Amino acid sequence: MVENHYKARMQRKKFYINTRIKQANIDKGIIVLLTGNGKGKSSSALGMVCRALGYNMKIAIAKFLKGVQTTGEDIFLAKQPNVQTTYMKTGFTWDTQDKTFDTDMAQETWGKAEQYLNDDSINLVVLDELTYMINYQYLYEAQIINTLNNRPKKQHVIITGRVASQKLIKLADTVSEIKDIKHAFRANIKAQKGIEL
């Protein structure tokens, strides 16, 4: 009896899933937005880079805000012929404390990102920490949205950063907000290689 009930439930579930899979027949480049205060935004983006590399896809990464910090993935991706990366040539904004300089550096990095977003040989573009550039008004949101809207039809884009604007949320196809429940740093554990950097 219990067995039969279980089987019927699984059959209904299978039917529902198969129907949903058949309905999802649109094939297009999507925008994934990863936001929120919890850890895991940039590393999730890098997880998708890893997936895309498995299919030999071409990837371009523009790193805003924390460009001078070398991470394990920077070292690894530098060896990947299918990945090109551009780094914003400034550290944390609270280190530089120079708005004009930071704005210039953001604009320079955005110029490179625009090239990626115009290049249909690039399958996936990662705009890491882009949200801050909008929030600090280093870049024009309207210009970013316009470029994203006019990118090659099959090109995927991943945007990361805390406090994503409402317009970015509206534009993106997939949006995840990562919630901060606990972070080791607050227990005075220093940033660990392979986990934080």
By CB under 5 A, residue 63 contacts Mg ion: no
Smallest gap from Cβ 89 to Mg ion, in A, equals: 18
Q: Residue 19 — φ and ψ, nearest 5°?
A: -65, -45
**Nearer to Mg ion among residue 69 and residue 149 (C-beta):** 69
Start-end of H helices in the chain: 2-23, 41-54, 72-77, 93-96, 99-116, 130-135, 141-149, 166-171
Give, as ranges, the residues between 124 and 143 that touch ligand ATP (CB under 6 A): 129
**Nearer to ligand ATP among residue 10 and residue 78 (C-beta):** 78
**Nearer to ligand ATP among residue 99 and residue 183 (C-beta):** 183
Q: What is the dihedral of CA 131, 71, 51, 124, to 10 degrees?
A: 40
**Nearer to ligand ATP among residue 43 and residue 84 (C-beta):** 43
Query: Mask: binding to ligand ATP, 5-44, rule CB under 6 A, as x and -?
Result: --------------------------------xxxxxxx-
Smallest gap from Cβ 19 to ligand ATP, in A, equals: 35
Q: Residue 68 — φ and ψ, nearest 5°?
A: -80, -10
Q: What is the dihedral of CA 158, 58, 139, 65, to 10 degrees?
A: 80
By CB under 6 A, residue 69 contacts ligand ATP: no
**For residue 90, what are the CA distances in angstroms to 45, 81, 101, 102, 162?**
21, 25, 8, 7, 19
Q: Specify the residue for token string 């990945």.
A: 83
Query: Which of Mg ion, ligand ATP, none sits in contact with 37, Cβ below 5 to 8 A by type?
Result: ligand ATP
**Nearer to ligand ATP among residue 20 and residue 193 (C-beta):** 193
> What residues make contact with ligand ATP under the rule CB under 6 A?
37-43, 129, 160, 162, 180, 183, 185, 191, 196-197
